[in-house]
Amino acid sequence: MAPKKRVLVANGQGFWGDSILGPVRLLREGPLDYLTLDYLAEVTLSIMQKQRSRDPRAGYATDFVRLIERVLPQLVEKNVKVVANAGGVNPHACKDALLAVIGKAGASGVKVAVVEGDDILERIDTLLKGGEEFRNLDTQQPLAEIRDRVLSANVYLGAFPIAEALGQGAQIVLTGRCTDPSLVLGPLVHEFGWTAADHGLLASGTIAGHIVECGAQCTGGNFTDWRTVPNLALVGYPLIDAAPDGSFVVTKHAGTGGLCTLDSVRHQLVYEMGDPRRYLTPDCIADFTSLRLSQESAERVRVDSVRGKAPTPTYKVSISYLAGWKAAGELTVCGPDALDKARLCARIVWERLAYDGFHYDPEERLEEYVGAGVCHAGIPGAEVQDPPEVVLRLGVKGPERDKVDRFGLELVPLVTSGPPGVTGFAGGRPKATEIVGFWPALMRKDLVSARVSVFTS
């Protein structure tokens, strides 16, 4: 089969919690070949792992199933393929839920693929015994130091398993942890027949995926010049209009809100950027300094001339672990002298706790005064001297759950045993919750095998 001349890939989900209207509108407002949806962050996997430990049917992005149930008629009618990492740590449970809603809708013949192999939690001890140390990339500590507190461990897979699933006829491809750009790169590899040796093309597809991975953040969302962005309420989610030679255009559906300009794309290009000459992925090393941007026309930014190199022999591994306990709560303190009264409230809390034998070191305490310049603390002139109201945010963290829980008992009493003007407490007593630490590491690629399975409704 000859490769297509152009492929339209849209991303309608920048994170788990993004607006459901993103993908819904992308399907309504114009043509597309692929709809990608990015649900996973590093902490998300640990949350899903805890969900699965309580319920073997849980551990995936349930929002995705509800979305597919809503847009299934349009997907079938327009023959749009979906690629999403909504499988989390339990992609087969997600697949079962999908097949159930597809069957309920009477849509037969829809193929759902599962890409797995990223979850190595149950293999950790075997891998450690085999010589993998999983040293923390930031501290160089070996994983053995916190092994008993590990909650999840997932390899960042690349684009080729996704392309394999599409090659087997899947209309919906479910993955666990893969790199965010792979959701876009996978369809391009499949459609254009790119190989593992096409480093420049893979780098170009990687950059395309990187630009749209945060959804509307490249089309006017979170944009510095926000006053110039029209109709943010119905901001257009981004489209990649890609060609077989690796060049592509960043755009959005005609008539949608937001904007697509050199500046909006540049803003996203530098998002989460380390060395721009060596953007490491499982499939290639992309050189972000090599690309050329041009405003092809209104709402169309062209990207070309991307260079790439061969990938490294290792995968990045996202490991989460229990790093202690935390609790935080808020009170609203109104004026006059709101800031002084809020500071007194904080002092009262710490002194009452100390009286009862609970001492917290400065690094274990959080004390913020929202409304008095806390977001720009340290910048001369940023602090507001006499705000009419302040949100007092207090918190503690530490290794002892009971000690963290004790803190939560001292906020509510301020309403009647503190200074006047204390209000706004409606969330209940703060209770200790787990702190999930992130442990980035590397492991050899030859120790990981991605697997693709296809199921038909």
Tokens 């149950």 map to which residue?
122
* Model confidence band, residue 374 (pLDDT cutoffs 50, 70, 90): confident
Mean pLDDT of 5-22: 94
* Model confidence band, residue 2 (pLDDT cutoffs 50, 70, 90): low
| Local structure of 394: helix, strand or coil | strand
| DSSP per-residue letters across 242-302 | E-TTS-EEEEE-TT-BS---HHHHHHHHTTT-S-TT-EE-SS-EEETTS-EEEEEETTEEE
d(CA 292, CA 434): 45
* Model confidence band, residue 377 (pLDDT cutoffs 50, 70, 90): confident
pLDDT digits (tens, 9 = 90+) for 331-364: 999 989 999 999 999 999 999 999 999 999 999 9
In the chain, the percentage of residues whose pLDDT exceeds 90 is: 87
Q: How confident is the model at residue 105, as a pLDDT?
A: 94
pTM over 0.75: yes
Q: How confident is the model at residue 385, as a pLDDT?
A: 81
Rounded to 10 deg, the angle between the 199-212 and 262-269 helix axes is: 100
* Model confidence band, residue 51 (pLDDT cutoffs 50, 70, 90): confident
Q: How confident is the model at residue 239, as a pLDDT?
A: 98
Least confident range of 1-5, 113-117, 273-277: 1-5
pLDDT digits (tens, 9 = 90+) for 194-242: 999 999 999 999 999 999 999 999 999 999 999 999 999 999 999 999 9
* Model confidence band, residue 376 (pLDDT cutoffs 50, 70, 90): confident
Q: Considering the chain, what is the average pLDDT of its residues?
A: 95
In order of start, what are the domains of the chain with their CATH numbers? 7-118+156-312 (no CATH), 319-439 (3.30.70)
Counted residue by residue, the chain has a size of: 457
* Model confidence band, residue 1 (pLDDT cutoffs 50, 70, 90): low
Q: Is residue 428 over pLDDT 90?
A: no
